[in-house]
Chain A
Amino acid sequence: MNMAETTKLTRKEKKALKERMKHLRSGKLEKRYARMGYLFMIPWFIGAGVFLAYPLISSFWYALNNIRITPLGRVFTFVGQGNFTQILIQDPDFLVQLVDYLTSTILSTPIIVVFALLIAMMLNMRIKGKGFFRLIFFLPVIIVSGPILKMLTAEGAGSISAIDVQSLTAAIGSVLPSMLAKPISDVFSNMITTLWYSGVQILIFLSGLQKIDKSMYEAAKIDGGSGWECFWKITLPNLKSMILLNTIYTIVFISSNSQNPIIVLIQNSMFSSTKEKGYGYASAMAWLYSVVVLLLVGLFALLLTTRKDQYEKQVKRNKKLKKKEARNLKRIERRNSRNAKRIEKQRAKGKITTHTTSRSDY
């Protein structure tokens, strides 16, 4: 369609164009209805503004400052990225704790999720006392809280005394480099507390498993599929979104758990009164930590998202193309009518002579 085209659309073509555009644009009533959604969301907007956005921004501002509390109030001295560089380069504790945290999280998250999946599958089978076992496995969710876990691990009830931790540590230490061995042995020695985190995941997997259509399994068995194949080809694809959900939940839960040593570090330096530390320093640490957690979650999310259906993608692309085409048509029609009006005016003034050809010449 080039700019020199001056044909006007006939009435029939205009109608057809309008029909095509109608289902691409929502009408006025729908738009007004959609805006009512804002009314329901007002509480959230207020809450997010006051309790989420404002502390977030001021926390970032704190991280850029060095704050001292004097009897006259808070004294801010702008340090720029001084806090961040100080943490990364000078502070020995933080980096070590961060790496510890990363390794232990990356190790324990798959363990927890896989464990929850196994237990959910076992609970899904036809066994007696299913309700009783569900009860036991969900119990830790109700009980787990900071001080209680602290008490339990202090009394040594957090590990299984039957498993000889010392020999296991020695065995692992001789095989793997010490950097890897230490987190692994930590995970083993805190096996109970690690497993106690999996209560909610078991329930989510269980309810997801119960929604899978049983007839698929029957069809597979008729066609000669073994149990292993059934698991990989039927169960797992149906559970993909739940695996993602559980992984993210586990990571977030571990990260904000007050048992975490890095959290303890941040919290301690929050209320410390020495000169280098204090609010600004702790804020910078908290920001670094949050960025790391976000990256971790993003990494796992990337690994585990279900790929979008190819067909859906095509449909979306076609819709977009249609919209574009309709817009172009409209623009051209408007331009044509403008040109036509201009030419009419000038012809009436007698300045231009045009040769009007009738359509039948073509």
Chain B
Amino acid sequence: MMGTKDREGFLKQFSVYALLICIGFIYLYPILHMISSSLMTLDDLLDSSIKWLPSSFNLENFRQAAASMDFWRALWQSVVLAGVPTICNLLSCSVIGYGLARFDFPGKKIVMAVIILSFVLPSQITMIPTYVLYSNLGIQNTIWAFVLPALFGQGFNAPIFILIFWQFFRQIPKVLIEASRIDGAGYFKSFYKVALPSAAPAFITVALFSFVWYWNESYLTELYVHGIYGDSSWTTLVIQLDNFSDNYSSYQQTATNAATNLNESINMAGTLLSILPLMILYFVLQRHFVESIDRTGITGE
């Protein structure tokens, strides 16, 4: 039962499976709750005998939630607001990571210490002066508030990405770069002809994580891009979710057909809608997500 040297015993395997299934269920519990309650109508909610399975497959909640959240416009803006800074992040972090990995310039240790320090510091400490700075530069309430820092290696969680690239480029054998220099490549050529093409896994990892983190970052988006006083045209799905109840009540007053009052199922429908794009992305690209950390070699050889 407990197993011999090679074969895992039945009891051990069973207990591992049971544990994993239990914990997996605990993990998925909020999402299942979301899905089931967003499909319920008002009658189902009030009916106390129905807990998990709705009586009918009802998409009405989704329609109302989507209309009040201005879904398609918010979706498109979320994609842009997450995608463009991601590209800038990729560009700058790869260059900086390469510089840190390949060259041994004086003061390198200080630079690395500052990078790690900027990761540990909470972003609230610089929030106010950054707000003032952006207003002075005139980039507040536009997408440049995200793009400009990302271009210079100061995007969200940029230190992590710089470290990922650093670790990755350290693993390229030095003789490869030296061979390219013998063949006459300059510094930049040997960067983008030799090092970059072999860095595809790192690029995929950084792109995915950066996209997801930019998408999910609600407070800074609201502060810098949306503008606390709401006078810009940028918005994201997550911000719409934040103001869901306000949006819904204003939608309700202007709706032509009879919209139900805000209840739990509409809340859940709205939440589900806002995580749906990312979940689809995740399920399509799951292999890349899950194997990404392994491929970057941050855990060493």
Binding site for B on A (CB under 8 A): 33-41, 43-44, 46-48, 50-52, 54-56, 58-59, 62, 119, 122-123, 125-127, 131, 133-148, 150-152, 155, 157-158, 160, 191-192, 195-196, 200, 203-204, 206-208, 210-211, 221, 241-242, 245, 248, 252, 255-256, 258, 263, 266-267, 270-271, 279, 282-283, 286-287, 289-290, 293-294, 297
Contact = CB atoms under 8 A, between A and B. Distances in A.
B241 interface: yes
Contact of B187 (A39, A191, A203): A39
Contacts, number: 249
Interface string B267-301: 11001001100110110001001100110001111
Interface residues of B, number: 87
Given A44-B92, A56-B126, A139-B279, 8 more contacts: A37-B100, A43-B153, A47-B154, A62-B129, A142-B279, A157-B33, A208-B300, A283-B128
Given A147-B218, A204-B299, A286-B125, A34 B105 contact: yes
Q: Which 4 A-B pairs have the closest CB atoms?
A: A37-B103, A47-B152, A40-B99, A145-B216
A137 B27 contact: yes
B114 A289 contact: no
Contacts of A43: 92, 95-96, 151-153
Interface of B is mostly: helix
B128 A59 contact: yes
Nearest to B12: A125
Interface string B213-231: 0011111000000001000
A157 B35 CA distance: 12
Given A48-B154, A142-B212, A242-B299, A158 B30 contact: yes
Contacts of A58: 129, 132
Interface in B257-274: 264, 267-268, 271, 274
B122 A289 contact: yes
A62 B128 contact: yes
Given A133-B20, A211-B300, A267-B219, A148 B151 contact: no
Interface of B: 5, 8, 13, 16-17, 19-20, 23-24, 26-31, 33-34, 37, 92, 95-96, 98-100, 102-106, 108, 111, 114-115, 118-130, 132-133, 149, 151-154, 162, 187, 191, 212, 215-219, 228, 238-239, 241-242, 244, 264, 267-268, 271, 274-275, 278-279, 281-282, 286, 289-290, 293-294, 298-301
A33 B190 CA distance: 13
B238 A148 contact: yes
A242 B24 CA distance: 24
Contacts of B100: 37, 41
A40 B186 CA distance: 13
B299 A59 contact: no
A41 B96 CA distance: 5
Contacts of B33: 155, 157
Given A51-B130, A155-B264, A267-B124, A252 B119 contact: yes
B266 to A, nearest CB: 11
Contact of A48 (B118, B219, B244, B294): B118
A139 B279 CA distance: 8
Contact of A157 (B8, B29, B152): B29
Contacts of A138: 289-290
27 contacts: A37-B100, A37-B104, A40-B95, A41-B111, A43-B153, A44-B96, A51-B154, A52-B114, A52-B118, A59-B126, A59-B128, A119-B20, A133-B20, A134-B290, A147-B242, A147-B274, A148-B271, A148-B274, A155-B264, A211-B301, A252-B120, A256-B122, A263-B124, A267-B124, A286-B128, A287-B125, A293-B120
